[in-house]
Amino acid sequence: MKKTSQIKLDLEQPKIRLDVFLAEKLDQTRSQIKLLVDGGFVLVNGKLPKKSGDQIKGGDVVEIKKESEKKETEVLEKKVKRKKIDLKIVAETSDYVIVEKPAGILTHPTAAKENDTLTDYLLEKYPEIKKVGEGEDRPGIVHRLDREASGLLVVARNQKTFLHLKEQFQDRTIEKEYTVLVYDNFSEEHGFINFAIDRGDNGRMVARPIVKEVTLKTIRNIQPGREALTEYWVEKNLSRFTLLKVKIHTGRMHQIRVHMFAFNHPVVGDTLYYNKKLIKKNEPKLDRLFLHSAKLCFVDLFGEKKCFVSELPKELKIFLEKIK
């Protein structure tokens, strides 16, 4: 019986981080992969990698020791102490629930099987959503918000509503508006960012500028990526910051954060997409993203347009007062 399983990368495979590659292949989080690499359960071309973020390329052979299954199980079964949160229900019908997700909590579990997510709290209050949706880890969940973001989410209470809402998201008829604080000021009061979004070699999402005209000179500059469109309006200039109203016309992963970072206006509080030069030592600290889902509109099963709004959380209001 073999004690390892092997994965050989296609020769055409461009360079990619080991943890990103294995996370996709094994359907696990990068944190889980790091534990396996640090534990010596992963080999690249017969050798132990220095770290989980090492680059691998076409033709490389990645081996996963069978002993890692025990370690993997330990990670998946690890229990997380449940936080106490004040979950605000904005609206409730027999078809859906509108909830305000607080910052610091996942919308739904990842492959690590966390038991401290928004869906865990929702299942306690609305057990019927358990069989709604496309997977047991995402009961009733049609869309999501990043862990450190907050704001409005709609959760379907039956499959008919789930499919109805999903279709609106796919057709891009759902209206989503966000309140976002970014670094630096804008030259235009209103604008669009249309950079395509793709996953970079380091595992982070990246924005790819669009080359409008394909010529012999520009063909080498054309980048891969999925269409993404973000619209913004300047609400207020605050010293070195700008408060924006943002509407996303597509739903790419980390879309607002990636687009603002590429536009040289990173979101305040972002620890993944940030520019050190813009962060001053004496500025107030914010232990979360300044990104809040403030408005959500959709059409219900009866053909009526429903809109919901959410005020800025207290900690974001306090931060705005500090930077005036």
List the beta bridge partners of residue 243: 181, 236
Task: Please name the amino acid found at residue 71.
Answer: K
Residue among 120, 137, 146, 184 flagged as catalytic: 146
**Dist CA 129 CA 125 (whole Å):** 10
Q: Please, which residues have CB within 8 angstroms of residue 67's CB and are 6 or more apart in sequence?
A: 3, 41
Are 208 and 196 in contact by the 8 Å Cβ rule? The answer is: yes
Are 95 and 163 in contact by the 8 Å Cβ rule? The answer is: no
Are 245 and 189 in contact by the 8 Å Cβ rule? The answer is: no
Q: Is 201 a catalytic residue?
A: no
Contacts 24+ apart (CB under 8 A), 81-85: 81/116, 82/115, 82/116, 82/120, 83/116, 85/121
Helices (H), the chain: 18-26, 30-38, 68-77, 118-125, 159-170, 255-262, 314-323
Are 49 and 61 in contact by the 8 Å Cβ rule? The answer is: no
Number of neighbouring beta carbons within 10 Å of residue 64 = 21
Are 262 and 195 in contact by the 8 Å Cβ rule? The answer is: yes
What Å distances lie between residue 31 and 15, 150, 278, CA to CA?
A: 20, 23, 29
Are 34 and 28 in contact by the 8 Å Cβ rule? The answer is: no
Residue with tokens 């016309």: 249
Strands 291-299 and 305-309: antiparallel
What residues act catalytically?
146
